[in-house]
Structure 1
Amino acid sequence: MTVLNRLAGWISDLRLAIALLLVIAVASGVGTVIPQKEPEGLYHQLYDAEPWLGLLQGDGILALQLDHIYSSDWFLALLAWLALSLLLCSWRRQWPALRAALNWIDYRSPRQLSKLSVAETRLCGETAEGLDLDRLARILQSEGWQVQCRPSRLAARKGVLGRVGPLLVHAGLVVLMLGAAWGVLGGHRAEQFLAPGRSLELLDSRGQHQLTLALEAFTVERDPAGRPEQFTSALRLLEGGPSSETLLKQASISVNHPLRFRGVTFYQADWGLAAITVQLGGSPLLQLPLQSFPQLGDQVWGLVLPTRPDGSDPVLLSLSSEQGPVDVYDAKGANLGQIVVGGDPLDIRGLPVRVASVLPASGILLKRDPGVPLVYGGFAVALLGGGLSLLATRQLWAITEGGRLHVGGLCNRNLTAFATELPRLLDAALQSGEQEPEPQQG
């Protein structure tokens, strides 16, 4: 039993909890620097040539689970350890402190009061002992103190609710960590690019049809310089099969304005270009898919297009915006000119090529996090506990003996203010007694 007590004492030690918080904070910071939940090849591409901090290459990043820190085994173990530390601290320290604050302590001797943090003795006269004690009790009650009176003595307390604060803080943090762990283990996250007029079928955890997400329209708002400022997607959420679909929700999402529906949150996360509509000579309009070319730069899309019926003499059409222009390059990388979207065709080696339109795509992030209610609830409880912890818990005892009024008290914070308040209470009690008129003789 002694070994268990020592182990519990070590786990609930404040210094250990602070160390765990620091480690968790550092790990969270690392998670903001290293990309999370990306393909393994990306980490080799980023860190094999230039190791992270000069120490870790791609294999090291993957071996230490730094590519998914928040769902890694060691990070979840740290959260569990911190939660256990908070629970043991609450059980060993905060709960006994609350019980002690709720129990009335009956001091019977003035010597006991003299040993308290704040103590004072005043003359009151043997004939007025009971009256002074009663007046002090009434003053304390008028100022919100709880008072318990006994013959020749009283006990009072104020701000006992503040003792609940640390317990609520610990409970809120534990609930918050449980919610975070549940969200990591039971949540789901996926990013999809959708073009207007297309839909995506959403499945539940059992692989059964849950919802259909349809994109009605997608717009990109740009500043005068052509830089994107805001992306907006008009969504429709449908239920049922293709022949009997029922509209459940119709709403628009944009950056920092997500949509939450049935436990799934839809974020406007990114944008792209899905397809380009071209006309080759006198051909009908052809809608061709675009692909990303990261080797040409960020947010560059393109299409390799043959200019001969046999597939020879290909050219590359590249663009970085749905507004164009479209740059044309030959197989050797030489620029052959630009095509204005919706404008006149460009003659490429005798073949007129016109770009009628460019279809943008909305990057929608779908996130299902069942732990969100627990995270918000735990945060609210922790905030409430932090506010209650600011309340000072004050205890006061008074004993009359031999024509003297002995008063002593305890306070868990701001003892200076309590030491100033105690003489004021005594002055008010004794001065009230001096102002009371003496009974007239009949």
Structure 2
Amino acid sequence: MTLDNSATNSTPRSHLGKFLRAELLPILTDLRLAIVLLLAIAFFSASGTVIEQGQSIEFYKANYPTDPALFGFLSWKVILTIGLDHVYRTWWFLSLLILFATSLTACSFTRQLPALKAARNWKLYDQPRQFQKLALSAELDNASLSSLTQLLQQKRYRVFQGEQDNLYARKGIAGRIGPIIVHIGIVIILAGAIWGAMTGFVAQEMVPSGESFQIRNIIDAGPLAAPQIPKDLALKVNRFWIDYTPTGSIDQFYSDISALDRQGQEVKRKTIFVNQPFRYRGVTFYQTDWGIAAIRIRFNNSPTLQLPMAALNTNGNGRLWGTWIPTKTDLSEGVSLLAKDLQGTLLIYDAKGQLVDTLRAGMATTVNGVTLRIVEVVGSTGLQIKADPGIPIVYAGFGLLMLGVVMSYVSHSQIWALEKDGHFYVGGRTNRAQVAFEREMLEILDQLTQKQEIKL
């Protein structure tokens, strides 16, 4: 009894390899798939820009109600179910990036690298009929390979001389390398985006002026972001202030921030404002909001006291902060104080809701038999804190992408020549800039003819 060796040698691994090459690889390298993936990535990236990311459920309920739903279907339930509130970290968006990167990589190995290899493996022509296949060719009666070689070298061609009175010349091999560099750049960009989504985080902090803080309030983070969050990073808001226009509206708000070492010593300091962030140890601090943190007051000749102020619900009618100030030690009596900004008038109301007085910082009034002096309104700065370790990778990918695009514009030009039976054959082709190549070829032929006439 004999065994069928072909059956025994057929392993699951070989079947898998054949399936990948015959079935999966043509799909991955299909240009239509790449276009569909690119459009899908662009669409969902745009949706992540339009739809606010990382907000609370209440925010989405208020801005994307179910009745009426935006466009008839986009409600807060759809947004939270699909993950449109954190598009760039959803499994399906990351899958699109990985699939697109895989498609580009497969295309590079199956098309771009073989094309580069074919361009580097030159071949000499030894038969006149071979020149008939070229886009541009000519037959001369009097010419020489040595004269043509000099002309080609002057035009920066690399010349390869054959043993049968023939030659091959080329230039612009970078034009064949360019598309590969473009693909590598895009893959690196996608890798950087994936790494940033997995390891980056976003935090928000509301810090009173003069206070120190650490990053605690994380509102969005990737699954691998924990090691990236600096636990020992301490910062201090030295001062927060607002510049107002002559009409009383806010012109700009500023935060003077210092980074501190473990001993509390300042190691870096910067004043930030909108679109001018503070960067330290891979973390970026943006000025995004402001508020009123506290009010500093004095009763008669007492030391300065600081009372916190809270934001009040105005149903969308501006911003307002308030606090209750006791005027007796047993807290049996007191007044309410309201403020809408750091420089405006402070309103004082009694227990019956009647307006008692209006003050500004530095002024005093008498309420319930005591002198109440407003020392300072303490502002708080709203900081958005971001870290994206994938940004340097993305920048490197963009650099390669731009380099590859420039290289892709370089024409890959090839010229062949053959001297046989008293005839001189020359021809060439290029992959782009056809008109410029034709002019160059005609110039070479004219100079070659002129040289032969001078010799004769």
Identify the TM-score tier after normalising by the shorter chain. Answer: 0.7 to 0.9
Deviation by residue 1:305-349 (Cα, 9 ceiling, x = unmatched):
26765767876543332111234567898766643333353x678
Q: For residue 253 of structure 1, what is the aligned residue in structure 2?
A: 272
Instruction: Classify the secondary structure of the residue corresponding to 1:170.
Output: helix
User: Retained in 2: the 8 A contact 1:222–1:230?
Assistant: yes
1:117 aligns with 2:135: yes
1:428 aligns with 2:450: no
User: Retained in 1: the 8 A contact 2:322–2:339?
Assistant: no
Q: For residue 308 of structure 2, what is the aligned residue in structure 1?
A: 289
User: Retained in 1: the 8 A contact 2:64–2:75?
Assistant: yes
1:173 aligns with 2:186: yes
Deviation by residue 1:198-255 (Cα, 9 ceiling, x = unmatched):
1113589468842211121223233333333333322222222xxx434332333333
What's the CA shift for 1:423? 1.3
What's the CA shift for 1:351? 7.2
Q: Distance in 2 between matches of 1:389 and 1:334?
A: 76
1:86 aligns with 2:104: yes
1:231 aligns with 2:253: yes
Q: For residue 393 of structure 1, what is the aligned residue in structure 2?
A: 412
Deviation by residue 1:122-166 (Cα, 9 ceiling, x = unmatched):
332xxxx4xx22111111101111111123211010100111111
What's the CA shift for 1:27? 0.7
Q: Distance in 2 between matches of 1:24 and 1:57?
A: 22
Q: Distance in 2 between matches of 1:322 and 1:163?
A: 63
User: Retained in 1: the 8 A contact 2:295–2:306?
Assistant: yes
User: Retained in 2: the 8 A contact 1:214–1:236?
Assistant: yes
Instruction: Classify the secondary structure of the residue corresponding to 1:54.
Output: coil
Q: Distance in 2 between matches of 1:268 and 1:343?
A: 30
Q: For residue 377 of structure 1, what is the aligned residue in structure 2?
A: 396
Letter in 2 for 1:228: I
User: Retained in 1: the 8 A contact 2:325–2:337?
Assistant: no
User: Retained in 1: the 8 A contact 2:314–2:320?
Assistant: no
Select the residue among 298, 321, 344 that pairs with 2:341. Answer: 321
Select the residue among 25, 41, 45 that pairs with 2:42. Answer: 25
Instruction: Classify the secondary structure of the residue corresponding to 1:318.
Output: strand
Instruction: State which drifts further: 135-144 or 313-322.
Output: 313-322
Q: For residue 188 of structure 1, what is the aligned residue in structure 2?
A: 201
Letter in 2 for 1:386: V
User: Retained in 1: the 8 A contact 2:312–2:322?
Assistant: no
TM-score, normalised relative to structure 2 = 0.85
Q: Residues 406 and 182 (structure 1 numbering): CA distance in 2 closer, same or farther, change over 3 Å?
A: same
User: Retained in 2: the 8 A contact 1:202–1:210?
Assistant: no
Instruction: Classify the secondary structure of the residue corresponding to 1:119.
Output: strand
Letter in 2 for 1:24: I
Q: For residue 340 of structure 1, what is the aligned residue in structure 2?
A: 360
Q: Distance in 2 between matches of 1:306 and 1:3?
A: 75
Deviation by residue 1:41-67 (Cα, 9 ceiling, x = unmatched):
211122225423221322221001011
Q: Residues 136 and 340 (structure 1 numbering): CA distance in 2 closer, same or farther, change over 3 Å?
A: same
What's the CA shift for 1:175? 0.8
Select the residue among 161, 164, 176 that pairs with 1:163. Answer: 176
Q: For residue 359 of structure 1, what is the aligned residue in structure 2?
A: 378
Q: Distance in 2 between matches of 1:421 and 1:315?
A: 91
Q: For residue 151 of structure 2, what is the aligned residue in structure 1?
A: 139
Q: Residues 268 and 96 (structure 1 numbering): CA distance in 2 closer, same or farther, change over 3 Å?
A: same
Matches within 5 A, 1:194-209: 194-202=207-215, 205=226, 209=231
Instruction: Classify the secondary structure of the residue corresponding to 2:361.
Output: coil
Instruction: Classify the secondary structure of the residue corresponding to 1:218.
Output: strand
Select the residue among 31, 35, 38 that pairs with 1:14. Answer: 31
Q: For residue 220 of structure 2, what is the aligned residue in structure 1?
A: none
Q: For residue 97 of structure 1, what is the aligned residue in structure 2?
A: 115
Select the residue among 232, 241, 245 that pairs with 1:210. Answer: 232
What's the CA shift for 1:282? 6.9
User: Retained in 1: the 8 A contact 2:285–2:384?
Assistant: yes
Instruction: Classify the secondary structure of the residue corresponding to 1:210.
Output: coil
Select the residue among 45, 52, 62 that pairs with 2:62. Answer: 45
Deviation by residue 1:169-192 (Cα, 9 ceiling, x = unmatched):
111111111111111111122111
Unaligned stretches of 5+ residues in structure 2: 1-17, 217-224
Letter in 2 for 1:318: L
Unaligned stretches of 5+ residues in structure 1: none
Deviation by residue 1:386-406 (Cα, 9 ceiling, x = unmatched):
111111111111112233322
Instruction: State which drifts further: 309-318 or 49-58.
Output: 309-318
What's the CA shift for 1:29? 1.2
Q: Distance in 1 between matches of 2:261 and 2:410?
A: 52
Letter in 1 for 2:73: L
User: Retained in 1: the 8 A contact 2:308–2:323?
Assistant: no
Letter in 1 for 2:205: Q
User: Retained in 2: the 8 A contact 1:300–1:318?
Assistant: no
Instruction: Classify the secondary structure of the residue corresponding to 1:295.
Output: coil
What's the CA shift for 1:299? 6.1
Q: Residues 162 and 367 (structure 1 numbering): CA distance in 2 closer, same or farther, change over 3 Å?
A: same
Q: Residues 298 and 257 (structure 1 numbering): CA distance in 2 closer, same or farther, change over 3 Å?
A: farther
What's the CA shift for 1:11? 1.5
Q: Distance in 1 between matches of 2:322 and 2:305?
A: 13
Structural RMSD (CA): 2.8
Instruction: Classify the secondary structure of the residue corresponding to 1:108.
Output: coil
What's the CA shift for 1:273? 2.0
What's the CA shift for 1:428? 0.9
